[in-house]
Structure 1
């Protein structure tokens, strides 16, 4: 199974989402995204997931960092995304927040997403 996450950066700030569930991850921050369905490309899945979770249309760009193993049968991948249309709203998350590079290390991240912190900090400049 492939899980995709999107890094939406606008004016030097990264959009992060606070998980609502499962209980062991509730309250922690992540890049929004979700599972790739059978027959779907990573880009199509990420665009669909961000439309469902955030209410926005995005264009999926280049990969960020390396794959992160979530378990023996699951891999997490991050992509930079560009905001095309819509208004950001937390449909599936507890909260959304725009953060700067200086704020990245201070967030309580879901463990898997911490692998990308150096690349995210560099992208934020």
Structure 2
């Protein structure tokens, strides 16, 4: 299963985290916003669609820069693997708000580590933080 996510950075260098709906897998945990890539959809187009659905923002798919990826087991023990592609983005239209989740928060990368992150988002954050420190 291919999933895309965005590390949205504001002008102060903070990144947006999105709290998962309580009734979903990993409910209440924090994550980078995004979602599943649908059939015949590019990862960037899927991410633009997901950010519009989840946060109410509009992003040109050319504004995404590949950052890192991680893999893990499918939710609820399904067969196969989950692959998450993380992109960074600094340009969008609209004010991000939690349309499908519980909340959003703007944090510096160091503060993100103190949040209750979904397991694969912990790995993405570590990779993203390592790249930022270079």
Query: Same fold by TM-score, threshold 0.5 exceeded?
Result: yes
Instruction: Please give the per-residue CA displacement for 1:5-59, whole angstroms capped at 9, x wherever unaligned.
Output: 1110112100000111445512110000011110000000000000010000123
Q: Which runs of 5+ in 2 are unaligned?
A: 75-79
| RMSD of equivalent CA atoms | 1.9
Query: Which position in structure 2 is the counterpart of 1:66?
Result: 69
Q: TM-score, normalised by structure 2?
A: 0.83
Q: TM-score, normalised by structure 1?
A: 0.88
Decide which of 64, 77, 83 is 2:85's aligned counterpart.
Answer: 77
Question: Partner of 1:34: helix, strand, or coil?
Answer: strand
Query: Which position in structure 2 is the counterpart of 1:16?
Result: 17
Q: Distance in 1 between matches of 2:110 and 2:81?
A: 34
- Contact 2:30–2:117 under 8 Å retained in 1: yes
- Contact 1:6–1:79 under 8 Å retained in 2: yes
Query: Which position in structure 2 is the counterpart of 1:36?
Result: 37
In structure 2, relative to structure 1, the CA distance for the partners of 1:108 and 1:69 (3 Å cut) is same
Q: Which runs of 5+ in 1 are unaligned?
A: none
- Contact 2:71–2:81 under 8 Å retained in 1: no
Q: Distance in 1 between matches of 2:81 and 2:64?
A: 25
Q: Distance in 2 between matches of 1:41 and 1:119?
A: 23
Q: Does 1:110 align with 2:129?
A: no
The count of residues paired between Structure 1 and Structure 2 equals: 125
Q: Which moved more, 1:57-66 or 1:47-56?
A: 57-66
Question: Partner of 2:8: helix, strand, or coil?
Answer: strand
